[in-house]
Amino acid sequence: MLAVLFRVVLLGIHTYVWWRLIYQAKLPRRWYLGLTALIVFLFLSGPVTTASRNVWPSISATFGWISLPWMALCGLTFVALVLLDVSKLVSRGARRAVGRPAPPVSAERRQFLSRITGGAAMAIGSASVARGMVSARGEHEIVDVEITLAKLPKALDGFSIVQLSDLHVGMTIDRDFVQRVVDRTNALSPDLVALTGDLVDGRVDDLRDEAAPLGQLRSTHGTYAVTGNHEYYSGAEPWIAELTRLGVRYLRNAHVEVAGGFTLAGVDDHTARRYIDHHGPDYQAALAGRDPELPTVLLAHQPRQVRRAAAHGVDVQLSGHTHGGQIWPWHYLVRIQQGGLLAGRYEHEGTQLYVTRGCGYWGPPVRLLAPLEITRVILRAA
Protein backbone atom coordinates (compact mmCIF):
# COMPACT_ATOMS: atom_id res chain seq x y z
CA MET A 1 0.00 0.00 0.00
CA LEU A 2 2.81 2.39 0.92
CA ALA A 3 4.63 1.53 -2.31
CA VAL A 4 1.52 2.39 -4.34
CA LEU A 5 1.06 5.67 -2.44
CA PHE A 6 4.72 6.53 -3.02
CA ARG A 7 4.35 5.97 -6.78
CA VAL A 8 1.18 8.07 -6.91
CA VAL A 9 2.91 10.94 -5.09
CA LEU A 10 5.94 10.61 -7.37
CA LEU A 11 3.69 10.69 -10.43
CA GLY A 12 2.03 13.85 -9.11
CA ILE A 13 5.42 15.52 -8.58
CA HIS A 14 6.56 14.59 -12.10
CA THR A 15 3.32 15.85 -13.58
CA TYR A 16 3.62 19.20 -11.82
CA VAL A 17 7.27 19.60 -12.88
CA TRP A 18 6.34 18.72 -16.50
CA TRP A 19 3.44 21.17 -16.45
CA ARG A 20 5.56 24.03 -15.13
CA LEU A 21 8.81 23.44 -17.00
CA ILE A 22 7.55 22.17 -20.33
CA TYR A 23 3.83 22.77 -20.88
CA GLN A 24 3.62 26.32 -19.51
CA ALA A 25 6.88 27.32 -21.18
CA LYS A 26 5.27 26.80 -24.63
CA LEU A 27 8.41 25.24 -26.06
CA PRO A 28 8.81 24.50 -29.76
CA ARG A 29 7.15 21.21 -30.73
CA ARG A 30 10.42 19.30 -31.13
CA TRP A 31 11.63 20.34 -27.65
CA TYR A 32 8.18 19.79 -26.16
CA LEU A 33 7.94 16.18 -27.41
CA GLY A 34 11.56 15.36 -26.63
CA LEU A 35 11.53 16.69 -23.06
CA THR A 36 8.12 15.13 -22.38
CA ALA A 37 9.45 11.74 -23.50
CA LEU A 38 12.55 12.27 -21.33
CA ILE A 39 10.48 12.96 -18.20
CA VAL A 40 8.34 9.88 -18.88
CA PHE A 41 11.51 7.80 -19.27
CA LEU A 42 13.03 9.19 -16.05
CA PHE A 43 9.82 8.57 -14.14
CA LEU A 44 9.68 4.94 -15.34
CA SER A 45 13.38 4.41 -14.62
CA GLY A 46 12.63 4.61 -10.88
CA PRO A 47 10.34 1.55 -10.77
CA VAL A 48 12.72 -0.30 -13.12
CA THR A 49 15.60 0.37 -10.71
CA THR A 50 13.78 -0.88 -7.63
CA ALA A 51 12.00 -3.80 -9.37
CA SER A 52 15.23 -5.12 -10.89
CA ARG A 53 17.18 -4.91 -7.62
CA ASN A 54 16.50 -8.55 -6.71
CA VAL A 55 16.30 -9.87 -10.29
CA TRP A 56 18.98 -8.09 -12.36
CA PRO A 57 21.18 -6.26 -9.86
CA SER A 58 23.60 -5.08 -12.56
CA ILE A 59 20.74 -3.34 -14.37
CA SER A 60 19.55 -1.88 -11.09
CA ALA A 61 23.01 -0.49 -10.35
CA THR A 62 23.27 1.06 -13.82
CA PHE A 63 19.79 2.57 -13.77
CA GLY A 64 20.36 3.69 -10.19
CA TRP A 65 22.92 6.30 -11.19
CA ILE A 66 20.35 7.76 -13.58
CA SER A 67 16.99 7.37 -11.85
CA LEU A 68 17.99 8.05 -8.25
CA PRO A 69 19.77 11.41 -8.71
CA TRP A 70 16.88 12.37 -10.98
CA MET A 71 14.41 11.51 -8.23
CA ALA A 72 16.19 13.97 -5.94
CA LEU A 73 16.46 16.62 -8.65
CA CYS A 74 12.77 16.31 -9.54
CA GLY A 75 11.74 16.48 -5.88
CA LEU A 76 13.86 19.53 -5.10
CA THR A 77 12.83 21.31 -8.32
CA PHE A 78 9.22 20.61 -7.36
CA VAL A 79 9.77 22.23 -3.96
CA ALA A 80 11.38 25.30 -5.56
CA LEU A 81 8.53 25.62 -8.09
CA VAL A 82 5.88 25.33 -5.38
CA LEU A 83 7.60 28.02 -3.29
CA LEU A 84 7.83 30.33 -6.30
CA ASP A 85 4.20 29.74 -7.27
CA VAL A 86 2.94 30.16 -3.71
CA SER A 87 4.84 33.42 -3.33
CA LYS A 88 3.26 34.62 -6.59
CA LEU A 89 -0.22 33.74 -5.32
CA VAL A 90 0.44 35.45 -1.98
CA SER A 91 1.63 38.58 -3.77
CA ARG A 92 -1.47 38.54 -5.96
CA GLY A 93 -3.74 38.10 -2.95
CA ALA A 94 -2.02 40.94 -1.07
CA ARG A 95 -2.55 43.28 -4.01
CA ARG A 96 -6.24 42.43 -4.16
CA ALA A 97 -6.59 42.87 -0.41
CA VAL A 98 -5.43 46.51 -0.68
CA GLY A 99 -7.43 47.15 -3.84
CA ARG A 100 -4.50 47.09 -6.24
CA PRO A 101 -5.19 44.43 -8.86
CA ALA A 102 -2.19 43.20 -10.82
CA PRO A 103 -1.72 44.87 -14.22
CA PRO A 104 -2.61 42.73 -17.25
CA VAL A 105 0.20 40.53 -18.52
CA SER A 106 0.62 39.67 -22.20
CA ALA A 107 0.92 36.06 -23.36
CA GLU A 108 4.54 36.70 -24.37
CA ARG A 109 5.45 38.07 -20.93
CA ARG A 110 3.63 35.20 -19.19
CA GLN A 111 5.62 32.72 -21.28
CA PHE A 112 8.86 34.58 -20.51
CA LEU A 113 8.15 34.59 -16.75
CA SER A 114 7.27 30.90 -16.84
CA ARG A 115 10.58 30.07 -18.49
CA ILE A 116 12.57 32.28 -16.11
CA THR A 117 10.98 30.89 -12.93
CA GLY A 118 11.18 27.34 -14.26
CA GLY A 119 14.84 27.78 -15.09
CA ALA A 120 15.51 29.30 -11.66
CA ALA A 121 13.79 26.36 -9.94
CA MET A 122 15.79 23.87 -12.01
CA ALA A 123 19.02 25.71 -11.19
CA ILE A 124 18.20 25.65 -7.45
CA GLY A 125 17.36 21.95 -7.64
CA SER A 126 20.52 21.13 -9.59
CA ALA A 127 22.79 23.04 -7.21
CA SER A 128 21.14 21.35 -4.23
CA VAL A 129 21.56 17.88 -5.74
CA ALA A 130 25.21 18.57 -6.58
CA ARG A 131 25.87 19.67 -3.00
CA GLY A 132 23.90 16.70 -1.65
CA MET A 133 25.83 14.19 -3.78
CA VAL A 134 29.14 15.54 -2.51
CA SER A 135 27.83 15.13 1.05
CA ALA A 136 26.47 11.61 0.45
CA ARG A 137 29.69 10.35 -1.13
CA GLY A 138 32.05 12.31 1.10
CA GLU A 139 33.62 11.85 4.50
CA HIS A 140 31.68 10.58 7.50
CA GLU A 141 31.33 12.92 10.44
CA ILE A 142 32.34 11.27 13.72
CA VAL A 143 29.73 12.35 16.27
CA ASP A 144 30.60 11.82 19.94
CA VAL A 145 27.60 11.35 22.22
CA GLU A 146 28.20 11.13 25.97
CA ILE A 147 25.44 9.34 27.87
CA THR A 148 25.41 9.27 31.66
CA LEU A 149 24.00 6.14 33.31
CA ALA A 150 23.26 6.17 37.02
CA LYS A 151 23.90 2.43 37.45
CA LEU A 152 27.02 2.16 35.30
CA PRO A 153 30.05 0.92 37.30
CA LYS A 154 32.87 3.46 37.60
CA ALA A 155 35.22 0.97 35.97
CA LEU A 156 33.29 1.30 32.69
CA ASP A 157 33.28 5.10 32.63
CA GLY A 158 34.34 6.01 29.07
CA PHE A 159 33.18 2.72 27.49
CA SER A 160 32.70 3.42 23.77
CA ILE A 161 30.07 1.99 21.45
CA VAL A 162 30.42 2.85 17.77
CA GLN A 163 26.97 2.80 16.21
CA LEU A 164 26.59 2.16 12.48
CA SER A 165 23.16 2.33 10.90
CA ASP A 166 21.40 2.56 7.55
CA LEU A 167 24.35 1.60 5.38
CA HIS A 168 22.03 0.32 2.61
CA VAL A 169 24.61 -1.72 0.70
CA GLY A 170 23.39 -2.19 -2.87
CA MET A 171 22.56 -0.15 -5.97
CA THR A 172 24.95 2.82 -5.60
CA ILE A 173 26.67 1.74 -2.34
CA ASP A 174 29.41 -0.77 -3.12
CA ARG A 175 32.26 -2.58 -1.40
CA ASP A 176 34.60 0.45 -1.51
CA PHE A 177 32.05 2.57 0.35
CA VAL A 178 31.56 -0.17 2.96
CA GLN A 179 35.33 -0.54 3.37
CA ARG A 180 35.65 3.19 4.09
CA VAL A 181 33.04 2.90 6.85
CA VAL A 182 34.77 -0.13 8.36
CA ASP A 183 38.19 1.54 8.27
CA ARG A 184 36.89 4.71 9.93
CA THR A 185 35.19 2.60 12.60
CA ASN A 186 38.25 0.49 13.37
CA ALA A 187 40.38 3.63 13.60
CA LEU A 188 38.23 4.69 16.59
CA SER A 189 39.27 1.55 18.53
CA PRO A 190 35.76 1.00 19.94
CA ASP A 191 34.95 -1.19 22.90
CA LEU A 192 31.88 -2.48 21.05
CA VAL A 193 30.22 -1.99 17.65
CA ALA A 194 26.42 -1.78 17.32
CA LEU A 195 24.69 -2.17 13.94
CA THR A 196 21.17 -0.78 14.18
CA GLY A 197 19.63 -2.08 10.97
CA ASP A 198 19.06 -1.34 7.29
CA LEU A 199 22.50 -2.57 6.34
CA VAL A 200 21.51 -3.95 2.93
CA ASP A 201 19.26 -3.42 -0.07
CA GLY A 202 19.35 -6.63 -2.06
CA ARG A 203 19.83 -10.39 -1.84
CA VAL A 204 22.76 -12.12 -0.18
CA ASP A 205 23.74 -13.86 -3.43
CA ASP A 206 24.06 -10.49 -5.18
CA LEU A 207 25.68 -8.45 -2.42
CA ARG A 208 27.81 -10.93 -0.49
CA ASP A 209 31.07 -9.44 -1.75
CA GLU A 210 29.97 -5.83 -1.23
CA ALA A 211 28.97 -6.50 2.39
CA ALA A 212 32.04 -8.64 3.18
CA PRO A 213 34.12 -5.82 4.78
CA LEU A 214 31.65 -5.81 7.69
CA GLY A 215 33.45 -8.97 8.81
CA GLN A 216 36.56 -6.84 9.38
CA LEU A 217 34.98 -4.74 12.15
CA ARG A 218 37.13 -4.93 15.26
CA SER A 219 36.34 -4.05 18.87
CA THR A 220 37.09 -5.31 22.35
CA HIS A 221 33.68 -6.84 22.99
CA GLY A 222 32.49 -7.66 19.46
CA THR A 223 29.86 -6.54 16.97
CA TYR A 224 26.14 -6.77 17.72
CA ALA A 225 23.20 -6.09 15.42
CA VAL A 226 19.43 -5.84 15.10
CA THR A 227 17.26 -5.98 12.01
CA GLY A 228 15.87 -2.96 10.17
CA ASN A 229 12.92 -2.85 7.83
CA HIS A 230 15.10 -3.11 4.70
CA GLU A 231 16.52 -6.45 5.81
CA TYR A 232 12.97 -7.76 5.51
CA TYR A 233 12.64 -6.40 1.97
CA SER A 234 15.85 -8.24 1.04
CA GLY A 235 15.46 -11.54 2.88
CA ALA A 236 16.09 -11.11 6.60
CA GLU A 237 16.93 -14.68 7.53
CA PRO A 238 19.56 -15.22 4.78
CA TRP A 239 21.17 -11.90 5.76
CA ILE A 240 21.16 -12.75 9.46
CA ALA A 241 22.90 -16.02 8.58
CA GLU A 242 25.45 -14.29 6.33
CA LEU A 243 26.36 -11.54 8.80
CA THR A 244 26.54 -14.10 11.61
CA ARG A 245 29.03 -15.99 9.44
CA LEU A 246 31.05 -12.76 9.23
CA GLY A 247 31.19 -12.54 13.02
CA VAL A 248 28.21 -10.30 13.80
CA ARG A 249 25.99 -11.39 16.68
CA TYR A 250 22.30 -10.63 16.21
CA LEU A 251 20.22 -9.74 19.25
CA ARG A 252 16.81 -10.90 18.15
CA ASN A 253 14.67 -10.09 21.18
CA ALA A 254 17.59 -11.08 23.39
CA HIS A 255 20.25 -9.55 25.59
CA VAL A 256 23.81 -10.06 26.78
CA GLU A 257 25.75 -8.72 29.73
CA VAL A 258 28.75 -6.68 28.61
CA ALA A 259 31.93 -6.51 30.70
CA GLY A 260 29.90 -7.20 33.81
CA GLY A 261 28.74 -3.59 33.72
CA PHE A 262 25.62 -3.17 31.56
CA THR A 263 22.96 -5.10 29.66
CA LEU A 264 22.97 -4.82 25.88
CA ALA A 265 19.59 -5.82 24.44
CA GLY A 266 18.13 -5.86 20.96
CA VAL A 267 14.67 -6.19 19.39
CA ASP A 268 13.50 -6.86 15.86
CA ASP A 269 12.36 -4.01 13.65
CA HIS A 270 8.99 -2.45 14.40
CA THR A 271 7.50 -3.82 11.13
CA ALA A 272 9.17 -7.26 11.13
CA ARG A 273 6.02 -9.30 11.81
CA ARG A 274 4.47 -8.06 8.55
CA TYR A 275 7.08 -10.04 6.63
CA ILE A 276 7.90 -13.10 8.79
CA ASP A 277 5.38 -14.44 11.28
CA HIS A 278 7.89 -15.49 13.93
CA HIS A 279 9.79 -12.20 13.76
CA GLY A 280 8.79 -8.95 15.41
CA PRO A 281 9.79 -6.92 18.49
CA ASP A 282 9.26 -8.68 21.82
CA TYR A 283 10.49 -6.39 24.59
CA GLN A 284 9.56 -8.76 27.39
CA ALA A 285 11.58 -11.59 25.86
CA ALA A 286 14.49 -9.27 25.10
CA LEU A 287 14.73 -8.06 28.70
CA ALA A 288 13.66 -11.12 30.68
CA GLY A 289 16.23 -12.15 33.26
CA ARG A 290 18.42 -9.06 33.01
CA ASP A 291 20.25 -7.90 36.13
CA PRO A 292 18.15 -5.04 37.60
CA GLU A 293 21.30 -3.59 39.20
CA LEU A 294 22.83 -2.86 35.77
CA PRO A 295 21.79 -0.25 33.20
CA THR A 296 20.22 -1.41 29.94
CA VAL A 297 21.21 -0.22 26.47
CA LEU A 298 18.67 -1.26 23.81
CA LEU A 299 19.31 -1.49 20.08
CA ALA A 300 16.09 -0.84 18.13
CA HIS A 301 16.03 0.25 14.51
CA GLN A 302 13.18 2.76 14.58
CA PRO A 303 13.13 5.69 17.04
CA ARG A 304 9.40 5.32 17.71
CA GLN A 305 10.17 2.01 19.42
CA VAL A 306 11.30 4.06 22.42
CA ARG A 307 7.71 4.24 23.65
CA ARG A 308 7.67 0.50 24.27
CA ALA A 309 11.23 0.54 25.54
CA ALA A 310 10.43 3.16 28.17
CA ALA A 311 7.52 1.07 29.41
CA HIS A 312 10.02 -1.73 30.12
CA GLY A 313 12.48 0.44 32.01
CA VAL A 314 15.21 0.71 29.38
CA ASP A 315 17.86 3.31 30.24
CA VAL A 316 19.11 4.07 26.71
CA GLN A 317 17.88 3.26 23.21
CA LEU A 318 20.10 3.59 20.12
CA SER A 319 18.23 3.89 16.81
CA GLY A 320 18.63 4.90 13.18
CA HIS A 321 16.11 4.56 10.31
CA THR A 322 15.49 8.27 9.68
CA HIS A 323 18.79 9.22 7.98
CA GLY A 324 18.26 12.57 9.70
CA GLY A 325 15.70 13.18 6.95
CA GLN A 326 18.42 12.74 4.27
CA ILE A 327 17.08 15.42 1.92
CA TRP A 328 15.76 18.76 3.16
CA PRO A 329 12.85 19.69 3.25
CA TRP A 330 11.44 16.15 2.88
CA HIS A 331 12.71 15.47 6.39
CA TYR A 332 9.43 16.90 7.70
CA LEU A 333 7.63 13.78 6.44
CA VAL A 334 10.15 11.52 8.18
CA ARG A 335 9.74 13.47 11.42
CA ILE A 336 5.96 13.04 11.27
CA GLN A 337 6.27 9.30 10.51
CA GLN A 338 8.46 8.81 13.59
CA GLY A 339 6.36 10.95 15.92
CA GLY A 340 8.78 13.89 15.96
CA LEU A 341 11.95 11.81 16.45
CA LEU A 342 14.33 12.69 13.62
CA ALA A 343 17.98 12.88 14.72
CA GLY A 344 20.03 13.54 17.83
CA ARG A 345 19.18 13.20 21.53
CA TYR A 346 15.74 12.78 23.06
CA GLU A 347 14.23 11.64 26.34
CA HIS A 348 10.99 9.74 26.73
CA GLU A 349 9.57 8.91 30.15
CA GLY A 350 12.99 8.36 31.67
CA THR A 351 14.56 6.57 28.68
CA GLN A 352 17.34 8.37 26.85
CA LEU A 353 17.27 8.03 23.05
CA TYR A 354 19.90 8.75 20.46
CA VAL A 355 18.97 8.69 16.76
CA THR A 356 21.91 8.60 14.35
CA ARG A 357 21.71 10.11 10.86
CA GLY A 358 23.27 6.91 9.54
CA CYS A 359 26.41 6.07 7.58
CA GLY A 360 24.83 5.45 4.17
CA TYR A 361 21.75 6.58 2.27
CA TRP A 362 18.68 5.13 0.64
CA GLY A 363 17.61 5.85 -2.92
CA PRO A 364 19.22 9.02 -4.29
CA PRO A 365 22.96 9.32 -3.55
CA VAL A 366 22.09 12.70 -2.04
CA ARG A 367 22.21 14.05 1.52
CA LEU A 368 21.10 17.63 1.87
CA LEU A 369 21.59 19.18 5.34
CA ALA A 370 21.87 15.68 6.84
CA PRO A 371 25.53 14.58 6.54
CA LEU A 372 26.83 11.06 6.89
CA GLU A 373 27.41 10.02 10.49
CA ILE A 374 29.40 7.43 12.39
CA THR A 375 28.30 7.69 16.00
CA ARG A 376 30.60 7.09 18.97
CA VAL A 377 28.50 6.67 22.11
CA ILE A 378 30.58 7.17 25.25
CA LEU A 379 29.02 5.81 28.43
CA ARG A 380 29.63 7.81 31.59
CA ALA A 381 29.15 6.74 35.19
CA ALA A 382 27.13 9.18 37.28
Name the pLDDT band for 344 (thresholds 50, 70, 90). Answer: very high
Do 106 and 146 fall within a single domain?
A: no
Residue 260, judged by CB atoms within 10 A of its CB (0-12, 13-18, 19+), counts as exposed
Mean pLDDT, the chain, integer: 94
Do 107 and 200 fall within a single domain?
A: no
Domain boundary among 135, 161, 180: 135
Do 269 and 309 fall within a single domain?
A: yes
Counting residues of the chain whose pLDDT is more than 90, the rounded percentage is: 85
Supply the pLDDT for residue 56. Answer: 79
Domain span at residue 218? 141-381
Task: Note every long-range contact of 24-32, with CB atoms under 8 Å and residues 24 or more positions apart, other chains counting.
Answer: 24/111, 24/114, 24/118, 25/111, 25/114, 25/115, 25/118, 26/111, 26/114
Average pLDDT over residues 227-234: 96
Evaluate if residue 1 carries a pLDDT over 70: no
Q: What is the dihedral angle through the alpha carbons of 288, 234, 204, 356, rounded to the nearest 10 degrees?
A: -60
Evaluate if residue 46 carries a pLDDT over 90: no
User: Which of 54 and 193 is assigned the larger pLDDT?
Assistant: 193
Do 170 and 33 fall within a single domain?
A: no
What are the pLDDT digits (tens) for 240-278?
999 999 999 999 999 999 999 999 999 999 999 999 999
Please give the helix or strand (H or E) that residue 114 lies within, else none: helix 107-136
No. of H helices and E strands in the chain?
A: 11, 12
Residue 118, judged by CB atoms within 10 A of its CB (0-12, 13-18, 19+), counts as buried
Evaluate if residue 110 carries a pLDDT over 90: no
Domain boundary among 70, 104, 135: 135
Supply the pLDDT for residue 101. Answer: 72
Do 110 and 146 fall within a single domain?
A: no
Average pLDDT over residues 267-292: 97
Q: What is the CATH number of the domain that holds 177?
A: 3.60.21.10
**pTM (whole model) above 0.85:** yes
Contact 328, 315 (CB under 8 A): no
Do 297 and 348 fall within a single domain?
A: yes
Do 68 and 151 fall within a single domain?
A: no
Do 186 and 297 fall within a single domain?
A: yes
Supply the pLDDT for residue 2. Answer: 65
Do 111 and 150 fall within a single domain?
A: no
Average pLDDT over residues 320-336: 95
Lowest mean pLDDT among 42-56, 159-173, 297-311: 42-56
Do 38 and 167 fall within a single domain?
A: no
Do 117 and 162 fall within a single domain?
A: no
Domain count, the chain: 2
Name the pLDDT band for 102 (thresholds 50, 70, 90). Answer: low
Q: Pick left, alpha or beta for residue 313 (phi over 0 → left; psi -120 to 50 → alpha; otherwise beta).
A: left
What are the pLDDT digits (tens) for 111-147?
888 899 999 999 999 999 999 999 999 999 999 999 9
Supply the pLDDT for residue 100. Answer: 77
Domain boundary among 82, 101, 135: 135
Contact 270, 160 (CB under 8 A): no
Do 114 and 235 fall within a single domain?
A: no
**Nearest CA to 245 among 215, 284, 271?**
215
